[in-house]
Chain A
Amino acid sequence: QKEVEQDPGPLSVPEGAIVSLNCTYSNSAFQYFMWYRQYSRKGPELLMYTYSSGNKEDGRFTAQVDKSSKYISLFIRDSQPSDSATYLCAMATGGSNYKLTFGKGTLLTVNP
Chain B
Amino acid sequence: KAGVTQTPRYLIKTRGQQVTLSCSPISGHRSVSWYQQTPGQGLQFLFEYFSETQRNKGNFPGRFSGRQFSNSRSEMNVSTLELGDSALYLCASSHSRGATDTQYFGPGTRLTVL
Co-complex (A, B): yes
Footprint of B on A, CB under 8 Å?
A: 31-32, 36, 41-46, 49, 51, 88, 90, 92-94, 96-105
Type the 1/0 row for B25-42, where 1 means its CB is closer than 8 Å to any CB of A.
Answer: 000000001010000011
How far is A97 from B103 in the complex, measured between Cα atoms in Å? 15
Are A46 and B99 interface neighbours, CB within 8 A?
Answer: no
CB distance from B79 to the nearest CB of A (A): 23
Are B56 and A45 interface neighbours, CB within 8 A?
Answer: no
Q: Is the interface of A mostly helix, strand, loop or mixed?
A: loop
Given A46-B103, A104-B42, A96:B55 Cβ within 8 A: yes
Are A98 and B98 interface neighbours, CB within 8 A?
Answer: yes
CB distance from A5 to the nearest CB of B (A): 11
B86 interfacial contact with A, CB 8 Å: no
Pull 30 A–B residue pairs with CB atoms less than 8 Å apart, ordered by A.
A31-B99, A32-B100, A43-B105, A43-B108, A44-B90, A44-B105, A45-B104, A46-B102, A46-B104, A51-B100, A88-B42, A90-B43, A93-B99, A96-B55, A96-B97, A97-B55, A97-B56, A98-B97, A98-B98, A99-B33, A99-B45, A99-B48, A99-B56, A100-B33, A100-B45, A100-B103, A102-B35, A102-B42, A102-B44, A105-B42
How far is A103 from B41 in the complex, measured between Cα atoms in Å? 9
Find chain B residues with CB under 8 A from A93 CB. 99
Are A43 and B43 interface neighbours, CB within 8 A?
Answer: no
B4 interfacial contact with A, CB 8 Å: yes
CB distance from A104 to the nearest CB of B (A): 4
Are A43 and B90 interface neighbours, CB within 8 A?
Answer: yes
B58 interfacial contact with A, CB 8 Å: yes
Find chain B residues with CB under 8 A from A43 CB. 4, 90, 92, 105-108
Partner of B45, one of A44, A96, A101: A101
Find chain B residues with CB under 8 A from A90 CB. 43
CB distance from B39 to the nearest CB of A (A): 8
Q: Which of B71-114 contact A (CB under 8 A)?
A: 90, 92, 97-100, 102-108
Closest 10 pairs (CB-CB, A-B): A43-B105, A104-B42, A102-B43, A32-B99, A92-B99, A99-B45, A98-B99, A44-B105, A43-B107, A43-B106
